[in-house]
Structure 1
Amino acid sequence: MKSVSIVGLGWLGVPLGLYLRHLGWHVKGSKSTYDGVESMRLLRFETYYLELTPDLNVDPDDLSELLSADALVITIPPNQYLFNLSSYVQSIKNLVNEALLYGIEHIIFLSSTSVFPNQSGFFDEEMFIEPDTDIGKTLLEIENWLLSLPNVDCDVIRLGGLIGDDRHPAYSLAGRENISQGNSPVNLVHVDDCARAIQLLLEAPSCRAIYHLVAPQHPTKADYYQFVAKQLDIKPASFSCAKADPQRIILGDKICQELGFVYQYPDPYLMLPNFIAPY
């Protein structure tokens, strides 16, 4: 039985773990609070307390159990390190270096399409990147470091905006007024597609690659979020739309061409419980 450790059993890590376990994988994981560890154990996950400070704050025996696996998936976003992104970089490096000592054979790091600047263009995995945010620069630094490591298979997945049955950006936008760049396209991906793509990479020979996960359809923010608000019966946001709004489209078809991946949710309008498509 193949084993995988998911560092960060959060909003994405939990459905990923459930999906892999259903497919026969031995799934382990970590949480950064003891209450979180107990909640995951109630879901029958083999879970260990691990806090990155950036040193590894973990019981040595627990660390040995956590990192005794075939593969490691790192799902920790930089959000909790916003005030000290250098600590986030060092945290990931410390974790990976420790994993290598335990003989981890395959590492998958979940990055973000926020590495790309907010400007018009079609962005694929081969493009030269100059991030325009501190988080984008931080993620790119980690990506480059991981892919330069010798003697280990590393893959990087850049995720678009995440959507699932219990998570949608429309909720945080509800009632907001005059949101800028309403004419810009969305770059979104459903959590189920994320889990399926990660499984595909875990089971495929690593080619030390970068892949984007973004649904191929890109409606404008104004059209999409106002439609979603109506379907969810929440107060719609209002948008400021201009012809000059950046037309930033992240291309997510490389994984389809190279690994045969097929998006289950190719259109953001399908990413709703009991969806009603507007066409």
Structure 2
Amino acid sequence: MTLLKPKISVIGCGWLGFPLAKKLIKRNYEVHGSTTSKAKLSALEAVQIIPFLIQFTSEGIVGNLKSCLKECQILIVNIPPGLRKNPESDYVKKMESFVNYIENSSIENVVFIGSTSVYEDEENFPVITENSPTSKASAPKQLIAVEALFQRNKKFKTTILRFSGLYGPKRHPATYLSGKSNIKNPEAPVNLIHRNDCIAIIISIIENNIWNAVFNASNSTKLNKKEFYTKACQLTGLVIPEFDNDSISTGKIIDSRKLIHDLNYNFQIKL
């Protein structure tokens, strides 16, 4: 007898969530997906994603989140906190409202997309594992507080994926810094991950039932920031960035060995 696959809700069908949802549908999952743009609803529906218009605001959640979660067993939370553009935003408050909805839904397991920006940059470029201390700065503290909201909830199981900087189609590494000047931390390590790997890792977690876990997810290169972005711009014909070589560099090296071991995962795209 063929077991029915769990239904999946993807909150945030943007640059990462949309191709992820399409890949899940190809693997015969039923997928509910949210967008903040009314114009994108038809694009979701065209690829068999059951679409919902949902926005997370400081005043509350706008849209039919209850229906987006209805009859789904797995939830993928892919909501950019927006703290760089709006550092005064209360990301924790937004997610507290969200968790209340999840508690009263059919959701059993959650994949929460987090960030390696929760870890501090230091002069000695520490090797960062999932047990490394996190930053005390305001934005990382909010991110960690939201992770805890999900991890500590007994109504569902959550796996946290802390991704490094995402790149891929329409987000080539060369375009990040091309033409800019006085860029800090030229000697810092580079921590990036391709969108294809992000999608493959999420699917691996779902299909191997890896819950109640935390993973760093980052690819590595031996080139430092100045070397990597200079080379990336040279290869694509873009203006080479200029770096501040006089200041002391800070940074970190993200260690993904736990993810590689527990998921038996090999990165698809090398830096």
What is the TM-score of this pair, normalised by structure 1?
A: 0.88
Q: 1:250 to 1:164 in 2, by over 3 A?
A: same
Q: How does 1:17-56 map to 2 (within 5 A)?
A: 17-54=21-58, 55-56=60-61
**Offset at residue 204 of structure 1 (A):** 2.3
Q: Is the 8 A contact 1:107 1:153 kept in 2?
A: yes
Q: How many residues align?
A: 263
* Corresponding position of 2:77: 74
1:122 aligns with 2:127: yes
| CA deviation profile, 1:89-112 (whole Å, cap 9, x unmatched) | 222222222022112000111010
CA distance in 2 between partners of 1:84 and 1:49 (Å)? 25
Distance 1:4 1:207 in 2: 15
1:182-193 to 2 correspondences below 5 Å: 182-193=186-197
Shift of 1:193: 0.4
Q: 1:159 aligns with which of 163, 169, 188?
A: 163
% of aligned pairs identical? 24
| Alignment partners' CA distance in 1, 2:95 and 2:115 | 15
How far off its partner does 1:205 sit?
A: 2.6
* RMSD, aligned α-carbons: 1.9
After superposition, give the CA deviation of every residue in 1:52-75 in whole Å (9 maximum; x if it has no partner): 12422113xx63244421100011
Task: Find the counterpart in structure 1 of residue 266 from structure 2.
Answer: 262
Give the C-alpha shift of residue 36 in structure 1.
2.4
Q: Retained in 2: the 8 A contact 1:183–1:243?
A: no
Deviation at 1:245, TM superposition (A): 1.6
The amino acid of 2:134's aligned partner reads: I
**Structure-2 separation of matches of 1:97 and 1:218:** 44
- The CA deviation string for residues 192-221 of structure 1, in whole angstroms up to 9 with x for no partner, is 000010011112234411101101334211
2:216 aligned to 175, 200, 212, which one? 212
Residue aligning to 2:149:
145
* Residue 153 to residue 182, structure 1, CA distance change in 2 (3 Å): same
Three-state SS of the structure 1 residue aligned to 2:127 is strand
Once residues 45 and 237 of structure 2 are traced to their aligned partners in structure 1, the CA distance between those partners, rounded to angstroms, is 35
